[in-house]
Structure 1
Amino acid sequence: MDARESEYSDVIIVGAGFSGIGAAYRIREKNPDLTFTILERRERLGGTWDLFRYPGIRSDSDIFTLSFPWEPWTRPEAIADGPDIWQYMADAARKHGIDRHIRYQTEVRSADWDSATDTWTVRADHNGTENVFTARFLFFASGYYDYSAPYAPDFPGLGDFRGEVIHPQLWPEEFDTTGKRLVVIGSGATAVSMIPSLASKAAHVTMLQRTPSYLFSVPRVLPPINAIRRVLPGRTGHLAARWVMSMFGSLLWLVSRGAPALSKRLLRWMTKRELPANYPVDIHFRPPYDPWDQRMCFMVDADLLKAVAAGDVEIVTDHVDHFDAHGVVLRSGRRLDADAVITATGLQMQALGGAILSVDGEKVEPHQRFMYRRHLLEDVPNAAWCMGYTNASWTLGADMTARAVANLLAYMNSHGYTHAYPHLGNEAMGEQPAFNLKSGYVLRGLSALPKSGIRRPWMLSHTYVRDAIGQRLESIEESMVFGRAGEREAHPA
């Protein structure tokens, strides 16, 4: 690679999705004198909402909690389609001048902290040229999964199949589903949102699942929420809708976890009423785990179940034995003939967008570090990693992270500090997984995530309401080390 001279910003944000755009807004809101640059590996902003372009892509949580709290969602839908979400993000970034700070096609490869100068040096690839950036603070808004390589099991005989094999993360724009026999392998949110859209054009769609998922149907439009937005227009109405929906989501999760037997009965009843009489609900829609052990899948107006009831979609609960030239052969011996197979088999977890992080030349392994208050890594100076929620909209946690970092930067500037990091020291701390789900992608990727402690501030909580209240009561100095370049500081006891 050819190298260029370094370019300085007070803050470098990695990623221009919900987390990165939100971080830029919050940091500038609290620290208007700081400069920032967003480095985005793709050609457009949007993150997940630019990457995934399969038919039927939509939010798997309500748009009021998914959207920015500082920019109202003005459309009537509560569950939004992917293209509309992308346009909302693009409009918000342009309206607030954030888009002017984005460097596209710039993939961060490494970042090294120099304690002598309290500076990060970031190396990024831009179309084969190495660009070098320096900054006081580094904010990773790069999510938690690999954008380039989805999880794709190596099914026996896959190479013998004469049809197309497509992963939703790499959906080909030119692929036409019209009149095709499709087999979709998977039962998660991607499959649940995709299949009704595929069924509108395909000759037939089979949903092949090893294990069922819990399904929860929500209306695309929520009249009570829109009534609130009419009475309280603009940002006030948006924040009210956001609060109501965040409370509903928290209640749903608490009831699911606190009363799993009741939740199972209710979810089964909701599913059964949409299906024909004598449909084998307990074979295809009864997971062998409790609600929210894995993320619950949201349907829009029960669209998947209605497609099953109409005969456009068949659910098959079985395991893949192997592929042959014409389709998928199951362990039961049944064959599913297909013109194309869609492997909605999940994500590959990845830390820090794949960048290599080091402190004074020593590589940082994120899975060996505790996470502090959802956003800082143990003993890593001036670096945040945005971590949202797994049981609620990601953006609820992302905005909390952005505001915490903005407050930290303001505190550092007001005291003349040039570095800050959380320090656990010799304090005994039990461990638990960062994500509290038993989904396949989580279990496969535990080694990519930082450690969570069992008590605050080192515990990665998954209770939004408690976190939202707790953040306002926490001391910014708790378990933190602050200092200036070239000075020795004492770690807190």
Structure 2
Amino acid sequence: MEPLDYDIIIVGAGISGIGNAYWLQRKCPGKRIAILEARDAIGGTWSLFNYPGIRSDSDMFTFGYRFKPWTDPQALSSGASIRAYIQETVAENDLEQYIRFRHKMTHADWSEERQGWILDVETERGKIQMSTRFLSICTGYYNYKEAYRPSFPGEETFPGPIIIPQFWPQDLDYRGKSIAIVGSGATAITLVPALTERGAGQVTMVQRSPTYVVSMPNKARSYEKWQKWMPLRWAYRAARIKYLLLQLISFGFSRMFPRTMKKFFMKMAAQQLPEGYPVDKHFNPTYNPWEQRLCVVPDGDLFQAIKKDNAAIVTGTISTFMPEGIRMADGELVTADIIVLATGLNIQLLGGASISVDGQPIDPKNSMVYKGMMMSGIPNFMYSFGYTNASWTLKVDLTANYLCKLIRFMDRMDYTSVVPIAPENPDGTEFLNLSSGYIQRAKAILPKNGTRRPWRVYQSYPMDMLATRYMGIADKHLKFRR
């Protein structure tokens, strides 16, 4: 048996991959680690997205790493600040030694004979092969090269630019111009106030249906106070617990009392909008809270932009694009010099790579998810997939620590491989329990979710923490081999 190049290869140098590398370096010293990054920059999403106002939609005290305090009391931070935070993490922990830039994994095949993975990798120098005992996927879940881009009647008649936020042109001059933003998700809700603040003329968000928009104070004053009389790590931990509890309470109450929470969120919106504003039309979703992600806005910036009269919302169905802008089905004309299609993402697993076991192709949709981080039938394989109802990084942190725990257990027992074995004829449910368009469009490619542990993805940090940190590794669902 030929020696393998690495013990663990991490795919992706974004916030997930860097967190993975930190914990592996700390808890599995001596292991040969590599991080494959297809681009030439650290940071993943936060080095790719550059549209105006790009920021986190989760508070940084739970979105930040457990091991590295977020020092700024600003809770919803800019993309540039998050990128700098990830870069600091890399520098402080000497993690760049592991990163292989311009290395894109295109295929991974598990060899039962070698008890390891053989990876096909594209580099600037051409195609190469790499091998590893464990494969840790930290590529996120959406396609970096292609956004969801529906077509609209009459697009060819519109003379101005039609922009996709994921590929925002840095030389776009929008000062003083009328902009129509099609969409109602986090990107659209971020763009509206950002564009008005940066000199755009009238900015109109054109939404087919409303989203829950919740205002949050962007300065964590309690964190500022705690930093003055306790060590930074303690203050950060206290802020992290506070914001985690707020997430759990919001989600829990929304599931138990959806009508009450719906009224509460709409009342909050109405209090920040001009008197008589049609809240029932523009901020009254057809679904219950947390059936899709809430859109959190710092200091109510979206509502403030509407109050200043240089931002507006139009709710309804688009009939056609035309030279003047967008004509709605009810006849209303939204004038525009620029149209921005903030219409969502395309989900993509494995960073677009394919995967096989002993040459037999594996389709993730036919696998079941074990503890929200491994897939049935795929040996020595870990997938970092964050929460949809809380900060992404909370689950990524648990996944990285579970990987370390699993590797140490296998070393002690002299095991070379582990594979989750799904139950026969399992009851399956949707992997992600949100009705968001990008998730519904991806049903055909997502793995299955079971109805009971360890095959059920609960989207619950407390339950996952108990299952990964405090429960043993070996169980009847894992098959180990020496």
TM range, smaller chain: over 0.9
How far apart, in 2, do the equivalents of 1:172 and 1:316 lie? 25
Displacement of 1:121 in angstroms is 0.8
Q: Find the counterpart in structure 1 of residue 380 from structure 2.
A: 382
How far apart, in 2, do the equivalents of 1:160 and 1:469 lie? 57
Displacement of 1:7 in angstroms is 7.9
Q: Find the counterpart in structure 1 of residue 214 from structure 2.
A: 216
* 1:183 is aligned to 2:171: no
| Match of residue 276, structure 2, among 275, 278, 282 | 278
| Match of residue 57, structure 1, among 54, 57, 75 | 54
How far apart, in 2, do the equivalents of 1:260 and 1:300 lie? 23
Query: What one-letter code is carried by the residue in structure 1 that aligns with 2:58?
Result: S
How far apart, in 1, do the equivalents of 2:227 and 2:458 lie? 30
| Match of residue 450, structure 1, among 444, 447, 452 | 447
Q: Find the counterpart in structure 1 of residue 81 from structure 2.
A: 84
More displaced stretch, 138-147 vs 75-84: 75-84
How far apart, in 2, do the equivalents of 1:380 and 1:114 lie? 11
TM-score where L is the length of structure 2: 0.97
Q: Find the counterpart in structure 2 of residue 118 from structure 1.
A: 115
How far apart, in 2, do the equivalents of 1:447 and 1:240 lie? 41
Q: Find the counterpart in structure 1 of residue 192 from structure 2.
A: 195
Q: Find the counterpart in structure 1 of residue 170 from structure 2.
A: 173
Displacement of 1:8 in angstroms is 1.2
Q: Find the counterpart in structure 1 of residue 365 from structure 2.
A: 367
How far apart, in 2, do the equivalents of 1:322 and 1:129 lie? 46
Gaps of at least 5 residues in structure 1 are 1-5, 485-493
Per-residue CA deviations over 1:244-294 (Å, capped at 9, x if unaligned) read 211111111101111111111111111111111111110011111100111
How far apart, in 1, do the equivalents of 2:87 and 2:428 lie? 39
Contact 2:46 2:83 (C-alpha < 8 Å) held by counterparts: yes
Cα 1:114–1:470, aligned 2, differ >3 Å: closer, same or farther? closer
Contact 1:163 1:326 (C-alpha < 8 Å) held by counterparts: no
How far apart, in 2, do the equivalents of 1:98 and 1:439 lie? 35
Query: What one-letter code is carried by the residue in structure 1 that aligns with 2:290?
Result: W
Query: What one-letter code is carried by the residue in structure 1 that aligns with 2:413?
Result: H
Per-residue CA deviations over 1:394-441 (Å, capped at 9, x if unaligned) read 000100110111111111111111101111243x42111111110000
What is the aligned-residue RMSD (CA, Å)?
1.4
Contact 2:4 2:116 (C-alpha < 8 Å) held by counterparts: no
Q: How does 1:353-432 map to 2 (within 5 A)?
A: 353-426=351-424, 428-432=425-429
Per-residue CA deviations over 1:133-182 (Å, capped at 9, x if unaligned) read 11000000011111110001011222221110111111111112211110
Per-residue CA deviations over 1:429-475 (Å, capped at 9, x if unaligned) read 21111111100001001122211101100011111122222323322
How far apart, in 1, do the equivalents of 2:230 and 2:359 lie? 53
- Please give the secondary structure, in 2, of the residue aligned with 1:446: coil
Identity over the aligned pairs, expressed in percent? 38
How far apart, in 2, do the equivalents of 1:346 and 1:355 lie? 22
- Please give the secondary structure, in 2, of the residue aligned with 1:268: helix
Q: How does 1:261-410 map to 2 (within 5 A)?
A: 261-410=259-408
How far apart, in 1, do the equivalents of 2:195 and 2:134 lie? 45
More displaced stretch, 127-136 vs 352-361: 127-136
Query: What one-letter code is carried by the residue in structure 2 that aligns with 1:321?
Result: S
Query: What one-letter code is carried by the residue in structure 2 that aligns with 1:296?
Result: L
How far apart, in 1, do the equivalents of 2:124 and 2:168 lie? 23
Query: What one-letter code is carried by the residue in structure 1 that aligns with 2:89?
Result: A
How far apart, in 1, do the equivalents of 2:317 and 2:126 lie? 46
Contact 2:204 2:313 (C-alpha < 8 Å) held by counterparts: yes
Q: Find the counterpart in structure 2 of residue 491 from structure 1.
A: none
How far apart, in 1, do the equivalents of 2:242 and 2:275 lie? 36
Query: What one-letter code is carried by the residue in structure 2 that aligns with 1:361?
Result: G
How far apart, in 1, do the equivalents of 2:469 and 2:104 lie? 35
* 1:143 is aligned to 2:125: no
* 1:36 is aligned to 2:33: yes
Contact 1:229 1:241 (C-alpha < 8 Å) held by counterparts: no
How far apart, in 2, do the equivalents of 1:9 and 1:398 lie? 22
Contact 1:388 1:394 (C-alpha < 8 Å) held by counterparts: yes
Contact 1:268 1:285 (C-alpha < 8 Å) held by counterparts: yes
Contact 2:4 2:133 (C-alpha < 8 Å) held by counterparts: no
Contact 1:7 1:132 (C-alpha < 8 Å) held by counterparts: no
Q: Find the counterpart in structure 2 of residue 109 from structure 1.
A: 106
- Please give the secondary structure, in 2, of the residue aligned with 1:136: strand
- Please give the secondary structure, in 1, of the residue aligned with 2:68: coil
How far apart, in 2, do the equivalents of 1:373 and 1:231 lie? 39
Tell me the matched-pair count.
479
- Please give the secondary structure, in 2, of the residue aligned with 1:448: coil
How far apart, in 1, do the equivalents of 2:336 and 2:413 lie? 65
How far apart, in 2, do the equivalents of 1:176 and 1:104 lie? 32
Q: Find the counterpart in structure 1 of residue 434 from structure 2.
A: 437
How far apart, in 2, do the equivalents of 1:472 and 1:140 lie? 20
- Please give the secondary structure, in 2, of the residue aligned with 1:216: strand
How far apart, in 1, do the equivalents of 2:163 and 2:77 lie? 24
- Please give the secondary structure, in 2, of the residue aligned with 1:28: helix
More displaced stretch, 400-409 vs 222-231: 222-231
Q: How does 1:192-271 map to 2 (within 5 A)?
A: 192-200=189-197, 201-271=199-269
Displacement of 1:128 in angstroms is 6.3
How far apart, in 2, do the equivalents of 1:117 and 1:311 lie? 66
| Match of residue 462, structure 1, among 459, 463, 473 | 459
Q: Find the counterpart in structure 2 of residue 487 from structure 1.
A: none
How far apart, in 1, do the equivalents of 2:295 and 2:81 lie? 20
Displacement of 1:30 in angstroms is 1.4
* 1:152 is aligned to 2:149: yes
Query: What one-letter code is carried by the residue in structure 2 that aligns with 1:50?
Result: S
* 1:474 is aligned to 2:479: no
Displacement of 1:98 in angstroms is 0.9
Cα 1:244–1:38, aligned 2, differ >3 Å: closer, same or farther? same
Q: Find the counterpart in structure 2 of residue 99 from structure 1.
A: 96
How far apart, in 1, do the equivalents of 2:121 and 2:151 lie? 32
How far apart, in 2, do the equivalents of 1:316 and 1:453 lie? 40
Q: Find the counterpart in structure 2 of residue 489 from structure 1.
A: none
Contact 1:431 1:451 (C-alpha < 8 Å) held by counterparts: yes
Cα 1:360–1:252, aligned 2, differ >3 Å: closer, same or farther? same
Runs of 4+, deviation exceeding 3 Å: none
Displacement of 1:374 in angstroms is 1.2
How far apart, in 2, do the equivalents of 1:7 and 1:310 lie? 62
Per-residue CA deviations over 1:328-360 (Å, capped at 9, x if unaligned) read 121112222211111110000111111100000
Contact 1:250 1:465 (C-alpha < 8 Å) held by counterparts: no
Per-residue CA deviations over 1:77-97 (Å, capped at 9, x if unaligned) read 111111001000001111101
